[in-house]
Amino acid sequence: MASYPIRVFGDPVLKSPAAEVTDLDGRFVKLVDAMFTTMYDAPGVGLAAPQVGVPQRFFVYDVGDGPEVLINPHIVESEGEWSYEEGCLSIPGLAFEIVRPKLVTVQAHDVEGNEVIVQGDELLGRVMQHEIDHLDGVLMFDRLEKAERKLALKQWREHVESGERPNASHAL
Ligand code: ZN
pLDDT tens-digit readout, 30-71: 999 999 999 999 999 999 999 999 999 999 999 999 999 999
CA distances from 95 to 112, 141, 161, 166, 170 (A): 35, 10, 17, 11, 10
Ligand 1 centroid to residue 47 C-alpha, Å: 7
Q: How far is residue 3's CA from residue 37's CA, in Å, rounded to a whole number? A: 6
Q: How far is residue 14's CA from residue 47's CA, in Å, rounded to a whole number? A: 12
**Host H or E run for residue 50:** none
- Is the pTM for the entire model greater than 0.85? yes
CA proximity to 170, closest of 100, 57, 108, 87: 87
Ligand 1 centroid to residue 131 C-alpha, Å: 6
For ligand 1, a single-atom ion, the residues with CB < 5 A are: 88, 172
Output the CA angle 129-134-138, nearest 5 degrees.
95
**In the chain, what's the furthest Cα-to-Cα distance?**
46
Active-site residue list: 131
Ligand 1 centroid to residue 92 C-alpha, Å: 9
| pLDDT under 70: residue ranges of the chain | 1, 165-170
Ligand 1 centroid to residue 133 C-alpha, Å: 8
Q: Which domains does the chain have, with CATH numbers?
A: 12-162 (3.90.45.10)
